[in-house]
Amino acid sequence: MKQEYLELTRSIERLHRRFLDVLRSELNRLGKRDINGVQSLLLANIGDEEIAIRDLVERGYYQGSNVSYNIKKLAEMGYITQRRSDHDRRSVTIALTDKARELVQQIRELEERIADGLGDENLGGDDIMSVCRTLRAVERTWADHIRFGIR
């Protein structure tokens, strides 16, 4: 079990890097040279809602300094709008521009094509659901370890 766990953790890291490569490749295919894979994934994670930057960090997607840099760059490139909260001037909310929404739609279409292609690899819905259950269990275990120090 220990060896499989180590393989799983390394696979998660490799898959994340590979997914960013897939996004970068798609961005190049679309002629989008002003944005990188991490930034396009950030846009997809923002989605259609207006969201506070701190909420992105709290969801566990990003580190504070990393998200701040990318938000600044995305605003400069016209992918997001920012505004200060009326109630807390320190809080900044962000939303996608039409330019970003179009790109996010293209990313969603890519994800659908990839999902359809998984069926060609003889992976069924049960296989994917099993992997998702396993990854959620690992995530819960890691979160519990961080919060409670469980070994």
3-23: pLDDT as tens digits: 999 999 999 999 999 999 999
For residue 79, give the 3-state DSSP assignment.
coil
Burial of 119 from C-beta contacts in 10 A (0-12 / 13-18 / 19+): exposed
And the tokens for 138? 């690992």
Q: What is the pTM of this model?
A: 0.84
Lowest mean pLDDT among 37-41, 55-59, 105-109, 129-133: 55-59
And the tokens for 151? 């070994």
End-to-end CA distance of the chain: 15
